[in-house]
Amino acid sequence: ETGVTQSPTHLIKTRGQQVTLRCSSQSGHNTVSWYQQALGQGPQFIFQYYREEENGRGNFPPRFSGLQFPNYSSELNVNALELDDSALYLCASSPVPGLTEKLFFGSGTQLSVL
């Protein structure tokens, strides 16, 4: 039991729509990062939030955006969905940024874009 929970577990959207994915971090963790895992690929870093500020971003377009709330939970928003956005989206929390060894992953949200 990692304590990182993500919702929903599965989601189906159509191209052009917008989607919001949610993540509750493990108790005591103030850093949340998001990853996209396409089928047959490793996770790719999207961005990281620390104390409600974005403090690292991977090679993803601006239509991928996020929020972190005062309770350290987080949202990932994707606008103008494309077929290639179909993937498993993983959230991970850690007690502080920079300690990659302390990443705890949720089980992910499986997004299908039709």
Partner 1 sequence: AQSVTQPDIHITVSEGASLELRCNYSYGATPYLFWYVQSPGQGLQLLLKYFSGDTLVQGIKGFEAEFKRSQSSFNLRKPSVHWSDAAEYFCAVGARSGGSYIPTFGRGTSLIVHP
Task: Name residue 99's beta-bridge partners.
Answer: none
CB of 98 to partner 1, least distance (A): 5
Closest Cα partner for 72 from 92, 98, 102, 45?
Answer: 92
Q: Distances from the Cα of 23 to the Cαs of 41, 76, 98, in angstroms?
A: 22, 8, 20
Which C-beta is closer to partner 1: that of 61 or that of 98? 98
Q: How far apart are CA 74 and CA 97, in angstroms?
A: 15
Smaller CB distance to partner 1: residue 58 or 86? Answer: 58
Q: What's the min distance (Å) between Cβ of 27 and partner 1?
A: 17
Kindly state the smallest distance separating residue 65's Cβ from partner 1, in Å: 17
What residues make contact with partner 1 under the rule CB under 8 A? 2, 4, 31, 33, 40-45, 48, 50, 55-56, 58, 90, 92, 97-101, 103-108
87: nearest Cα among 2, 13, 31: 13
CA distance 50 to 88: 22
Given the complex with partner 1, which of 16 and 25 has the nearer CB atom? 25
| Least distance (Å) between residue 45 CB and partner 1 | 5
Kindly state the tokens that stand for 32.
């949340």
50 vs 78, which CB is nearer to partner 1?
Answer: 50
